[in-house]
Amino acid sequence: MTPGRNPCGQLLSSIAGRLTTMLETSARLLRLLSLLQAHRDWSGADLAERLGVTPRTVRRDVDRLRELGYPVNASPGTGGGYQLGAGAELPPLLLDDDEAVAVAVGLRTAAGQGIEGIGETSVRALAKLEQVLPSRLRRRVGALNAFTVPMLHGPQPSAVDPAVLTELAHLCRDAERLRFEYRTHEGAATRRTVEPHRLVCTERRWYLVAWDLDRDDWRTFRVDRITPRPPHGPRFSPRTPPADDLAAYVSQGVSTRAYASHAVVRLLVPLAEAAERISPSAGVLEAHDENSCTLRTGAASLDVMVIHVMLMGFEFEVLEPAGLTERIRTARDRLSRALERSPRTRDGAGRTPGTRSGSGAAS
């Protein structure tokens, strides 16, 4: 033994070095897997840049993922790259078969019911999971979905097929053109070709924000009226979205821009109180001060707008248009005349003759 050298220390130092390398490699493999799941295609150079390694290291890491059971496909040539394919068997150390089926069914249920706050996340997670499910598990998940009837809500004519949601999510993620048949409110069907951007969900309804190639403008489509008509594609370069806040953009579109008449009113209640009663599909709310908020909404006509605003049950002030104020005066006068014509008792109370109260109900 060489004087002054400690073999135990050398051994521990060597083990520590190997453990550090193993941990760095494991972390890099997880990062690589996450990147492959996030987008359909990656070039070796792009992956190397994102991971901070050489293309040769990327190739070795891809081989390690394949050894672990992850089906990573590689395409040679200038336009080639790496793609995460459908799995021949479920990758180990993640979920067993029963757990994978349970998670997929749970995600489908959450996405189909539009559960507040988790709907969009469920669709993204389901898209990743179904990408690597082996065919035998896909059949099990499909059978459970087809022959299970949830009783979470009443009948929903606007219910969305989760399979359509996941297909749209894939196309948004991969930036592929979507071809579909769209059913209008009147029931007429039209063929559309769009560049899908994002899915937006409300409590009970899903919308697709997309660039309509035929109309050369952004459009919002109800997903329950969409029937995909593949083949889809080709790929496209994503455009700048129509707004930073797509939820507000869709809310304004379905509650205001879709109608012939528009109005802005100030509700004399705090924003939080108004939001409990007014859904995003009924109008767009903005805080004015601590005790009031502004509502932007739409209706088929100003006469319908009067009823729409009154039924919200809040004190309010009309900001625009001036015509809405005139319609409210007309409605007030009409209601006053109706009250004047109503039968009255001797004491002047507006009671229906033969009853004990103004409700008109028999005791």
Query: What span, in angstroms and rounded, lies between the C-alpha atoms of 299 and 259?
Result: 5
In terms of C-beta density within 10 A (0-12 exposed, 13-18 middle, 19 or more buried), how is residue 32 classed?
Answer: buried
pLDDT tens digits, 261-293: 999 999 999 999 999 998 887 888 999 999 999
pLDDT digits (tens, 9 = 90+) for 44-60: 888 888 888 898 898 88
Considering just the CA atoms, what is the radius of gyration of the chain in Å? 30
> How large is the average pLDDT for residues 202-231?
89
Tokens of 303: 């006469």
Among 60-69, 126-135, 187-196, top mean pLDDT goes to 187-196
Beta bridge partners of 198: 209
CB 44 within 8 A of CB 138: no
pTM > 0.75: yes or no: no
Write down the H helix ranges in 162-227: 162-174
Structure tokens given for 263: 């109005």
The answer for residues whose C-beta is within 8 angstroms of residue 36's C-beta and 6 or more apart is: 42, 72, 82, 83, 84
How far apart CA 65 and CA 311 sit, in angstroms, is 59
- Give the three-class secondary structure for 285: strand
Q: Report pLDDT for 281.
A: 79
- Per the model's pLDDT, the better-predicted residue between 232 and 84 turns out to be 232
3-state secondary structure of 291: coil
Q: Look at 78-92, 275-289, 328-342 and tell me which has the smallest mean pLDDT.
A: 78-92
User: From residue 327, how far is each of 25, 26, 30, 309, 334 by CA, in Å?
Assistant: 71, 69, 63, 12, 11
